[in-house]
Amino acid sequence: MNQDRLIGKVEGSYPGPLVIVVAGLHGNEDSGVYALEEVFNIIERDRIPIRGKFIGLKGNIGALKTRERYVDYDMNRCWYDHHIHALKFGQAERKSSEDMEVLDLLHWIQEESIGQYTERVMMDLHATSSENGVFIVIPQEETKLEIPKSMHIPIIFGLEKKIGGTLLNYFPSQDFVSFAFEGGVIGSEEAIKLHKTGVWDVLYASGCIQVEREERHHDVMEYIQNDHRPHPPRVSVLYRHAINRQDNFKMLPGFSNFQKIKAGDVLALDKTGEIKSPIDGLLIMPLYQDTGNDGFFIAEEIE
Ligand SMILES: [Zn+2]
């Protein structure tokens, strides 16, 4: 087990939940790593009592070093049962950088999961390349919504129908309440603040810490209030525009998350010309970086 993966770990003497927070599964999204370091520092400094266990783990160590999304393959598109099984039991060659990262991360999670906990929570921290990107992504079938709802930010369902192999989609089968937290723009100061707030929220909502910290909601609430665009509380993903490097995909400037769009609106350009929205809906995660295979998503508001 690579000791460099451990950002921090605190354990209480009273029973409680297991809260595992993964940061930097995409190496260019390092805000979560800094946020977790600060949260662990405050817990130590203020001697905040813990119930259960709270552990912070780096996702893709190799990619974090160079601040690239990944080295050989996207570490948030590979969590398929067959791939994990092949890695674990040696049917795969384990040649790539991410193969070793996935195995090591799994090893950490399995070791740290041993024991009795009131609940198991897996939070995966990300940042986006577009504006207004503060939301939670959860698997469609997830029914335990108390913790994600406690954060008072939009929730996106059904992304797994459009992109496979995400970490958040693997861990429900391992008996975790599992979700991703998208906390602002990649590389921004604000993203670190948002991630810290999100982590405090989850620690409190899961019962890992008992004292509600005053600054808990401050950053997220301020962010939402300062923003004039509507924030639908829950949306379901309807459409994904898949891209590859040869497409020369370029999102037109100025789009942000949850922006209302109409069928026929020109959203982007590629080598074939204009890319128009096929449906009415809300734009999610328009791509403003030159890495990744998802140009944009379109969602609809749900009850
Ligand atoms: Zn990410």
pLDDT in tens, 72-114: 999 999 999 999 998 888 765 667 999 999 999 999 999 999 9
State the amino acid at position 211 in one-letter form: V
Q: How far is the CA of 123 from the centre of ligand 1 (A)?
A: 12
Q: How far is the CA of 26 from the centre of ligand 1 (A)?
A: 5
pLDDT at position 174 is: 80
What backbone phi and psi angles, to 5 degrees, belong to 135? -165, 170
Query: For residue 23, how many other CB atoms are within 10 A of its CB?
Result: 29
Closest-CA residue to 35 (of 176, 155, 190): 190
- Note whether 182 and 127 are within 8 A (CB): yes
Give the span between the Cα atoms of 138 and 237, in whole angstroms: 11
Q: How far is the CA of 116 from the centre of ligand 1 (A)?
A: 30
Q: How far is the CA of 125 from the centre of ligand 1 (A)?
A: 7
Closest-CA residue to 179 (of 217, 150, 221): 150
Q: How far is the CA of 46 from the centre of ligand 1 (A)?
A: 31
State the amino acid at position 156 in one-letter form: I
230 or 152, which is more confident: 152
- Note whether 242 and 293 are within 8 A (CB): yes
Give the span between the Cα atoms of 163 and 242, in whole angstroms: 9
Q: How far is the CA of 78 from the centre of ligand 1 (A)?
A: 13
81-to-60, 141, 166, 170 alpha-carbon distances in Å: 19, 17, 11, 8
Q: How far is the CA of 130 from the centre of ligand 1 (A)?
A: 12
Give the span between the Cα atoms of 62 and 99, in whole angstroms: 11
DSSP strand pairing (294-301 vs 281-284): antiparallel
Give the span between the Cα atoms of 292 and 34, in whole angstroms: 23
Q: How far is the CA of 47 from the centre of ligand 1 (A)?
A: 32
Contacts of residue 89, defined as CB under 8 A and 6 or more positions apart, other chains included, come to none
Confidence of residue 229 (pLDDT cuts 50, 70, 90): very low
Q: How far is the CA of 127 from the centre of ligand 1 (A)?
A: 6
Question: What pTM value is reported for the model?
Answer: 0.91
Closest-CA residue to 181 (of 69, 78, 7, 31): 31
Contacts of residue 117, defined as CB under 8 A and 6 or more positions apart, other chains included, come to 15, 16, 17, 18, 52, 53
Q: How far is the CA of 179 from the centre of ligand 1 (A)?
A: 12
Of 76-85, 127-136, 213-222, the one with minimum mean pLDDT is 213-222
DSSP 3-state of 108: helix
Give the span between the Cα atoms of 11 and 9, in whole angstroms: 7
- Torsion sign across C-alpha atoms 169, 197, 41, 68: positive
Residues whose beta carbons lie less than 5 angstroms from ion ligand 1: 26, 29, 126
Q: How far is the CA of 25 from the centre of ligand 1 (A)?
A: 7
Q: How far is the CA of 69 from the centre of ligand 1 (A)?
A: 8
Q: Which two tokens stand for residue 237?
A: 């993903």
pLDDT in tens, 243-298: 998 999 999 999 999 999 999 999 999 999 999 999 999 999 999 998 889 999 99
Q: How far is the CA of 12 from the centre of ligand 1 (A)?
A: 30
- Note whether 128 and 184 are within 8 A (CB): yes
Q: How far is the CA of 136 from the centre of ligand 1 (A)?
A: 12
Q: How far is the CA of 183 from the centre of ligand 1 (A)?
A: 10
pLDDT in tens, 247-257: 999 999 999 99
Torsion of CA 204, 128, 126, 277, to 10 degrees: 90
- DSSP tag of 208: S
pLDDT at position 58 is: 98
pLDDT in tens, 145-199: 888 887 778 899 999 889 999 999 898 878 899 999 999 899 999 899 889 988 9
Q: How far is the CA of 292 from the centre of ligand 1 (A)?
A: 9
Torsion of CA 170, 175, 177, 179, to 10 degrees: -10
The mean of the pLDDT values for the chain is: 89
Q: How far is the CA of 129 from the centre of ligand 1 (A)?
A: 9
Looking at the predicted structure, is the pLDDT value of residue 123 above 60?
A: yes
Q: Which domains does the chain have, with CATH numbers?
A: 3-225 (3.40.630.10), 234-301 (2.40.50.100)
Q: How far is the CA of 220 from the centre of ligand 1 (A)?
A: 19
pLDDT at position 222 is: 57
pLDDT at position 77 is: 94
Q: How far is the CA of 30 from the centre of ligand 1 (A)?
A: 9
Q: Which two tokens stand for residue 86?
A: 């092949």
- Note whether 25 and 75 are within 8 A (CB): yes
Looking at the predicted structure, is the pLDDT value of residue 206 above 70?
A: yes
